[in-house]
Amino acid sequence: MQYRVTPTDGTKISALGLGCMRFPGFALGRPDQKAAEAIIRRACEQGINYLDTAYLYPGNEQCVGLALERLGLRDKVLLATKLPHGSCKRSEDFDRLFDEQLRRLRRDHIDYYLIHNITSPLQWERLQSLGIESWIARQKASGRIRNIGFSYHGSAGDFPVMLEAFSWDFCQIQYNYLNEHYQAGTAGLRAAASRGLAVFVMEPLLGGRLAQHLPPEAERILERAATPELSTPAAWGLSWVWNHPEVTMLLSGMSSPEQVDENAAVAASALPHSMGARQLEAIEQVVEVFQRLERVPCTGCNYCMPCPQGINIPGCFSAYNASYAHSWFTGVSQYFTASAIRSGRPKLATNCVRCGACKRHCPQHIDIPERLDDVRRRLTPGPVGAALKLLGKR
C-alpha cells in the first residue's frame, strides 16, 4: 500500500480508503454486519487505514462502530463521518447529532469530520448563523474532532467560495475521468491542493459504472492499451485518479474482500504521473465513447431513496443508460428487474407523481421526475407500457 501525507498535519493516509456506504445490504438500509466485518478486516490487512461513513447512511455508523470494536481496530484506523447539516435547525443540534455519532461509532473522537453534501455556499452561511464556527473550535480544542472538512456536490463556480469560507483541513470531491469538468473538477482539485488542503476523492468509479458494464467500444479501447498493471476497467479508473499528485486519498466502496484485494493491488503501483501518454490517450477515447452514449449521470448513491411511490430510481436510470450503451433489450431487461416486474406489483417510472422529494436530495442535480419520464418513453413504449399497467392492476 502506498501512503500519502496530509499537508495540514503530516498524517500518513493510505492512498486507498474504504468507503463504507455500499456494504452488502446498504440498498435496504440494513448493512450486513458479518460481510462488513470481513471487508474491514481485509482492508486493514491490506494496509488501508481510512474508513468513511456518515450519519445519513442507514445503519452504517452503528455497523462500522461495532465492527471496529469486535475486530480490535477501533484505535488503529482513521475514521471519517459527516454532519447532516440539513437536520441542524438550532445550535444545540450540533452537539445532539455529534454525540449520537460518537455513541454509534463507539469512539470518543472523530479523525475526519465533514459537513456532508454541500451544494451551495448558502448552506454553510446558514450554519455560520447557528454558530458552527465556534462549535468546531470547541470540538477541535477538546480533541473530539481532529480535522474538519466538507464533501462537495455543487457547481464549479461555487467551489472556490467554499474553499475560502473557512480554515478547512481537507475537502472531499467527486472526481473520475468522466468528471474532469463536473462539480469541483480538475480546476477545483488543483485549487484545493494549492491552498494546502488534503483532497479526498469520492466516486472514482462512478458507483461502479467505470468498473463494470462499460460500453463494448470502451472496453475494446482499454483492452488494446492494457498493461499488467492496467488489466481491468477498475484498474484504469482508479489509476487515472491516483495519477494526479494533488489527490491525497481516494475512497472506494468495496463490497467484498476480493474487491479489496483487487483495488489494493492497483494502489501499490498507481503512483502520481505513472500513466504514460498512450494510457492517457486511451482514457480520452473512452470519455468520447461515454459522451456519445451517456444519458443520465446517476451514480447509484441512493440519496434519492426511498421513493414514496416505491420506484427504484437508480435502477431505472441504470437500465435507461444500458439501453443506449449496450442495447434496447438489455435496458428493458434491467428495467423489468429494477421494477420488480415478477412480483405482480411493479413499481414503474409511470408511478412517479412528481412530488420532488428525490430531486431535492440528488448530489448530481438530476431533474429526476423529468428523467423518469424519459425512462418511461424509452423502456415502456406503446403496447409494452399498456401491458405493464394491466399487470400492475392485478
Task: Write the pLDDT tens digit of every residue in 82-92.
Answer: 999 989 999 99
From 213-222, 262-271, 337-346, 357-366, the region with the lowest mean pLDDT: 337-346
Instruction: Give pTM, 2 decimals.
Output: 0.79
Exposure letters 109-129 (e unless 16+ CB within 10 A, then b) = ebbbbbbbbbeebebbeebee
Task: Indicate left, alpha or beta for 296 from its phi (over 0: left) and psi (-120 to 50: alpha).
Answer: beta
Domains in the chain, ordered, with CATH? 3-290 (3.20.20.100), 313-393 (no CATH)
What grid cell was written down for 260?
479489496
Pick the residue with more confidence: 16 or 382?
Answer: 16
Cα distance between residue 335 and residue 320, in whole Å: 7
Question: Which pLDDT score, from 0 to 100, does residue 83 have?
Answer: 96
| pLDDT score of 286 more than 80 | yes
| pLDDT score of 390 more than 70 | no
Question: Which pLDDT score, from 0 to 100, does residue 261 have?
Answer: 95
Pick the residue with more confidence: 192 or 343?
Answer: 192
Tens of pLDDT, residues 25-71: 876 678 889 999 999 999 999 999 999 999 988 899 999 999 999 99
Question: Which pLDDT score, from 0 to 100, does residue 343 have?
Answer: 46
Tens of pLDDT, residues 127-167: 999 999 999 999 999 999 999 999 998 777 889 999 999 99
DSSP at 77:
S
Question: Which pLDDT score, from 0 to 100, does residue 242 have?
Answer: 96
Question: Which pLDDT score, from 0 to 100, does residue 294 have?
Answer: 76
Pick the residue with more confidence: 176 or 336?
Answer: 176
From 105-109, 246-250, 288-292, the region with the lowest mean pLDDT: 288-292
Contact 210, 233 (CB under 8 A): yes
Question: Which pLDDT score, from 0 to 100, does residue 3 have?
Answer: 94
Q: Where are the alpha helices (DSSP H) in the chain?
A: 33-45, 60-71, 92-105, 121-129, 132-142, 159-164, 185-194, 216-224, 233-242, 257-269, 277-293, 313-325, 328-338, 357-361, 368-379, 382-393
Pick the residue with more confidence: 189 or 389?
Answer: 189
